[in-house]
Amino acid sequence: MSSNSKPSIGIVGGTGDLGRGLALRLAKAGHTVLVGSRKSEQAVEAAEALTAELAQRGVAHPPIEGLDNESAAQRGEVVFVTVPFGAHTPTLESIKGAVQGKVLVDVTVPLVPPRVARVQLPPEGSAGMIAQTLLGEDVHVVSALQNVAAAHLQADMDIPCDVLVTGNEKTARQTVIDLIESMGMRGFHAGLIHNAAAAEALTSVLININKQYKTHAGLRLTGID
């Protein structure tokens, strides 16, 4: 970790909706952000747009850089993976070497288009389980943020949402909870990576609610301060 206790953040697939939202909030919270893409020029464009957006909001922040996915994974002290489920396994395989010994945050929802409003978890149990098995025990996989809308992360607004955080290592979960809190949400220890299935399944439930009520619904726990 950096000596200032603000780890640099790699975002693999960071040019997408969720990755951009995370980049804005983590840069605002004082982290250097490495936006990754399959095409480094696309990442540079995204990084420039995000930097311009924060300038427009009057937010001072460490650099946001754009580079290829593997370099973002290599340089990030904590690495987020924000790609569609169809790209999850090949993307993890491509960064496996770069993330050994690190905390890897998996936000993937295993949606199977076109029926994204139906819970369809994979035979392995969850995307989180797939990631932990594929990457091996030296990578501290933490699953989180499946129930937060990218539109909310990108907007300059408070997010009154709670985040279920699962993973096999408590210290890794805490690292991610600290990042979530620095982005203006509450994060909670929700058990081992096996429990990632619950948060991943909830997203399809929220998609139903969003369609019905024309909103971006989130999760809020009660009985806990």
Query: Applying CB under 6 A, which residues contact ligand NAP?
Result: 13, 15-19, 37-38, 42, 82-87, 91, 107-109, 111, 145-146, 148-150
In the complex, least distance from residue 88 CB atom to ligand NAP, rounded to whole angstroms: 7
HSE, CB side, 13 Å, CA atoms: give it for residue 81.
Answer: 34
In the complex, least distance from residue 97 CB atom to ligand NAP, rounded to whole angstroms: 17
Residue 6 or 180 having the CB closest to ligand NAP: 180
Query: Which amino acid, residue 174?
Result: Q
Write phi, then psi, for 197 (nearest 5 degrees). Answer: -55, -35
In the complex, least distance from residue 147 CB atom to ligand NAP, rounded to whole angstroms: 7
In the complex, least distance from residue 86 CB atom to ligand NAP, rounded to whole angstroms: 6
In the complex, least distance from residue 101 CB atom to ligand NAP, rounded to whole angstroms: 24
Residue 139 or 206 having the CB closest to ligand NAP: 206
Residue 32 or 146 having the CB closest to ligand NAP: 146
Residue 32 or 69 having the CB closest to ligand NAP: 69
Provide the edge-to-edge strand list for the sheet that holds 64-68: 64-68, 33-37, 9-12, 78-81, 103-106, 140-143, 162-167, 186-189
| First CA to last CA distance, the chain | 29
Beta bridge partners of 186: 162
Distance from C-alpha of 160 to C-alpha of 170, rounded to nearest angstrom: 24
Nearest residue to ligand NAP, scored by beta-carbon proximity: 16
Residue 148 or 172 having the CB closest to ligand NAP: 148
Apex 211 CA angle, 206 and 212, nearest 5? 95
Residue 8 or 146 having the CB closest to ligand NAP: 146
Instruction: Give Cα separations from 84 to 32, 59, 113, 185 (angstroms).
Output: 24, 30, 11, 23
In the complex, least distance from residue 164 CB atom to ligand NAP, rounded to whole angstroms: 12
Beta bridge partners of 35: 11, 66
Q: Tokens representing 164?
A: 């279920």
